[in-house]
Amino acid sequence: MIEPSAPAARCAEIPPSPRKVFAIALASVLLMVFLYWVKPPVSFAFDPNDEKCLPDMRLSLMLHQRPTTVHDGDLVFWKPFGPLAYVKQRYVMKQVAGVAGDHLQIRGETVLINGKPVVQGLALARLYHATPQELQRDEVIPAGKLFVIGTHPHSDDSRYWGYLDVASVDGRALKIF
């Protein structure tokens, strides 16, 4: 059997100095305060709900940096306000269906962007005290605006409350699964 060397045995027996314990405790507290007050550059979003506005997504990586450009199909998130102020989560996430300059049409219960169907249904029209006929549109998406959707028929999105300002977007998300 090998005996430990004398210096190693003595180091294990010496308790840490009060100064070292204080420095570690202070560094830990400062790190926690920093992480609490400073917005992290990335976070994860998990949707445990049975009915999701983006049904094919359970977990996503959220990049907390305002995007310089936004394209059709991007996932964006923002803090809930206006018609979505009832949302209790910190952020709302939707898929971009149309950007400035795209041609938007809502005909019947079909939403078309540049002539291609992107989502079907106007199930929440009565929540906005509107009929599907009152939500019909045929217009070009204005500069600085996005048309965002959820792919679930009951998603509360731009079909009902209109365009999202690009300046309101807090970041972009990437689907993990």
The domain locations on the chain are 6-37, 42-175
Distance set, CA 167 to CA 2, 63, 146 (Å): 68, 16, 10
Please calculate the CA angle 167-96-104 and round it to the nearest 5 degrees: 100
Report the predicted TM-score, pTM, of the whole model to 2 decimal places: 0.77
Q: How many CB atoms lie within 10 A of CB 148?
A: 27
Tens digit of each residue's pLDDT (9 = 90 or more) over 29-76: 888 787 677 777 888 887 766 667 776 788 899 999 999 999 999 999
Fold for the domain defined by 42-175: Umud Fragment, subunit A (2.10.109)
